[in-house]
Amino acid sequence: MIAMPTPSISAPSVDDFSAAILRHLKLSLGKDPDHASLYDWRMSLALSLRDYVVDPWFDSTRKTYEARGKRVYYLSMEFLIGRLIEDVAVNLGLEEIAEDAITALGQHYGDVVANEPDAALGNGGLGRLAACFMDSLSTLGIPAYGYGIRYEHGLFEQHFEDGAQIETAETWLSQAHVWEFERPEVAYPIHFGGHVADENGKTVWHAGETVMASAYDTPVVGWQGRWANTLRLWAAKPTTNFDLESFNRGDYIAASAPEALARTISRVLYPDDTTDVGKELRLKQEYFFTSASLQDLLRRFLSEGGALKDLSDHVAIQLNDTHPAIAGPELVRLLIDEHQFEVSQAITTARACLAYTNHTLLPEALERWPEDLFARVLPRHHRIIQLIEAAHFATAGDTVRIFEHGEVKMGELAFVMAHHVNGVSALHSELVKETVFSDLNAAYPGRIINQTNGITPRRWLYSCNRPLRTLINDTIGTAWPDNLDQLSGLTPHVDDSAFLERFQAAKDTNKVQLANWLKARNGVSIDPAAMFDVQIKRIHEYKRQLMNLLETVALWNDIRAKPNGGWTPRVKLFGGKAAPGYVVAKEIIHLINDAARVINADPVTREFLQIVYPENYNVSMAEMLIPAADLSEQISTAGKEASGTGNMKFALNGAPTIGTLDGANVEIRDCVGAENFFLFGLTAAEVTARRAEPDYARTAIAASPRLSEVLDQVKSGLFSGGDTDRYVNLVNGLYDHDYFLVTCDFDAYFAAQRQVDTAFADSRHWTRMAALNTARVGWFSSDRTISGYAKDIWQAHSLLEQRDADQNVA
Active-site residues, by number, are 359, 537-538, 543, 645, 649
Dist CA 143 CA 184 (whole Å): 23
Dist CA 649 CA 632 (whole Å): 9
Q: State in angstroms the smallest separation of the CB of 353 from ligand GL7.
A: 22
Region of 118-126, 483-491, 703-711, 720-728 interacting with ligand GL7 (CB under 6 A): 118-126
Dist CA 191 CA 211 (whole Å): 7
For ligand GL7, give the closer residue by CB, 644 or 778.
644
Identify which of 649, 729, 771, 755 has the alpha carbon closest to the alpha carbon of residue 128: 649
Strands 202-206 and 195-199: antiparallel
Dist CA 538 CA 545 (whole Å): 9
Q: State in angstroms the smallest separation of the CB of 431 from ligand GL7.
A: 12
Residues of span 302-361 touching ligand GL7 by CB under 6 A: 359-360
Which residue number has the CB closest to ligand GL7?
Answer: 125
Residue 422 binding ligand GL7, by CB under 6 A: no
Binding-residue pattern over the window 142 to 171 for ligand GL7, x denoting contact by CB under 6 A: ------------------------------
Query: Terminal CA-to-CA distance of the chain, rounded, Å?
Result: 23
Q: State in angstroms the smallest separation of the CB of 637 from ligand GL7.
A: 12
Q: State in angstroms the smallest separation of the CB of 170 from ligand GL7.
A: 17
Identify which of 392, 435, 399 has the alpha carbon closest to the alpha carbon of residue 415: 392
For ligand GL7, give the closer residue by CB, 359 or 776.
359
Dist CA 688 CA 684 (whole Å): 6
For ligand GL7, give the closer residue by CB, 476 or 687.
687
For ligand GL7, give the closer residue by CB, 274 or 510.
274
Task: Name the strands in the sheet holding 403-404, side by side, starting at the edge strand that comes first in the sequence.
Answer: 368-370, 407-409, 403-404
Dist CA 393 CA 384 (whole Å): 14
Q: State in angstroms the smallest separation of the CB of 452 from ligand GL7.
A: 10
For ligand GL7, give the closer residue by CB, 424 or 515.
424
Q: Contacting ligand GL7 (CB under 6 A), which of 82, 125, 154, 681?
A: 125
Contact 85, 253 (CB under 8 A): no
Q: Which residues pair with 354 in a beta bridge?
A: 317
Identify which of 625, 627, 637 has the alpha carbon closest to the alpha carbon of residue 543: 637
Dist CA 146 CA 148 (whole Å): 7
Dist CA 455 CA 778 (whole Å): 10
For ligand GL7, give the closer residue by CB, 584 or 598.
584
- Does an H or E element contain 609, and which? strand 609-612
Range list of β-strands (E), 9-140: 71-75, 79-82, 119-121
Q: State in angstroms the smallest separation of the CB of 424 from ligand GL7.
A: 4
- Does an H or E element contain 134, and which? helix 125-140
Q: State in angstroms the smallest separation of the CB of 410 from ligand GL7.
A: 13
Q: State in angstroms the smallest separation of the CB of 436 from ligand GL7.
A: 13
Dist CA 106 CA 118 (whole Å): 24
Angle separating helix axes 742-761 and 763-776, nearest 10 degrees: 110
Contact 637, 696 (CB under 8 A): no
Region of 119-127, 197-205, 323-331, 681-689 interacting with ligand GL7 (CB under 6 A): 119-127
Residue 126 binding ligand GL7, by CB under 6 A: yes
Question: What does 4-32 look like in DSSP terms, one character per residue?
Answer: -----SPPPPHHHHHHHHHHHHHHTT---
Region of 414-422, 565-573, 640-648, 745-753 interacting with ligand GL7 (CB under 6 A): 640-648
Dist CA 145 CA 228 (whole Å): 10
Dist CA 580 CA 166 (whole Å): 8
Residues of span 352-411 touching ligand GL7 by CB under 6 A: 359-360, 365
- Does an H or E element contain 165, and which? strand 164-168
Q: How many CA atoms lie within 13 A of 538 on its CB side?
A: 25
Residue 464 binding ligand GL7, by CB under 6 A: no
Residue 590 binding ligand GL7, by CB under 6 A: no
Q: Contacting ligand GL7 (CB under 6 A), which of 91, 123, 230, 285?
A: 123
Q: State in angstroms the smallest separation of the CB of 320 from ligand GL7.
A: 9
Q: State in angstroms the smallest separation of the CB of 340 from ligand GL7.
A: 38
Largest CA distance in the chain: 89
Q: Contacting ligand GL7 (CB under 6 A), which of 644, 654, 681, 778?
A: 644
Dist CA 40 CA 647 (whole Å): 37
Residue 453 binding ligand GL7, by CB under 6 A: yes
Q: What are the b/e assignments for 567-597, b being 16+ CB within 10 Å?
A: bbbbbbbbbbbbbeebeebbbbbbbbbbbbe
SS3 percent helix, strand, coil of the chain, rounded to 5, is: 55, 15, 30
- Does an H or E element contain 290, and which? helix 280-303
Region of 154-162, 595-603, 638-646, 705-713 interacting with ligand GL7 (CB under 6 A): 638-646
For ligand GL7, give the closer residue by CB, 547 or 579.
579
Residue 555 binding ligand GL7, by CB under 6 A: no
Residues of span 256-275 touching ligand GL7 by CB under 6 A: 273-274
Q: Which amino acid is at 807?
A: Q
Q: State in angstroms the smallest separation of the CB of 324 from ligand GL7.
A: 14
Dist CA 702 CA 47 (whole Å): 62
Q: Which residues pair with 631 in a beta bridge?
A: 533
Contact 567, 559 (CB under 8 A): yes
Residue 643 binding ligand GL7, by CB under 6 A: yes
For ligand GL7, give the closer residue by CB, 530 or 546.
546
Residue 124 binding ligand GL7, by CB under 6 A: yes
Q: Total binding residues for ligand GL7 by CB under 6 A?
A: 18
Residue 663 binding ligand GL7, by CB under 6 A: yes
Residue 634 binding ligand GL7, by CB under 6 A: no
Q: State in angstroms the smallest separation of the CB of 90 from ligand GL7.
A: 23
Q: State in angstroms the smallest separation of the CB of 659 from ligand GL7.
A: 13
Dist CA 691 CA 683 (whole Å): 12
Residue 286 binding ligand GL7, by CB under 6 A: no
Residues of this chain that bind ligand GL7 (CB under 6 A)? 123-126, 129, 273-274, 359-360, 365, 424, 453, 641-645, 663
